[in-house]
Amino acid sequence: MAAWAFPLPGIASPAYCVYRFKPDAQPWYFHHLLRSPSYKARIKAMSTGVVESRLRLYSDDLFRIQGLQPPPEEQAAIVRFLDWANARLERTIRAKRRVIALLTEQKQAIIHRAVTRGLDPAVPLKPSGIAWLGDIPAHWEVRRSSSRKCP
């Protein structure tokens, strides 16, 4: 990795190996490549172990996996495109989450209004006598919940 610093935290353990990129490689290209579904499946297939969470990929097996390596300028262009596309998707996801939150709030308001005011918005209202509840439809009654004991 020469003069290039990977901006993610690392792991220190005697069970890991450190591999360096060749000078013409774009590390972020390989970051995306090795996390693509087809490469993840190949890495998993080449790994050994009894339990999936404990699979191990030995160096010899890692180096047997063939990798696509476009020219460095094309690797850089792919990384720029993926960064741009990912940023757009993240913005869209944030916007959709805001819409979902507003729709959830609207849903709760509709439920509250239906169960405390009924379905007819023009119905006359009367005080419920319950401070936190407010007015209710004039033809509704306020009753205590049943005091029946369970068997």
pTM above 0.75, yes or no: no
| CB 112 within 8 Å of CB 128 | no
pLDDT band at 135 (very low <50, low <70, confident <90, very high): very high
DSSP string, the chain: -TT----S-----TT-------TT--HHHHHHHHTSHHHHHHHHHH-B-SSGGG-B--HHHHHHS------HHHHHHHHHHHHHHHHHHHHHHHHHHHHHHHHHHHHHHHHHHHHHH-S-TTS-EEE-S-TTT-EEETT----PPP-PPP-
Domain limits of the chain?
A: 1-69, 71-139
pLDDT digits (tens, 9 = 90+) for 79-131: 999 999 999 999 999 999 999 999 999 999 999 999 999 999 999 999 999 99
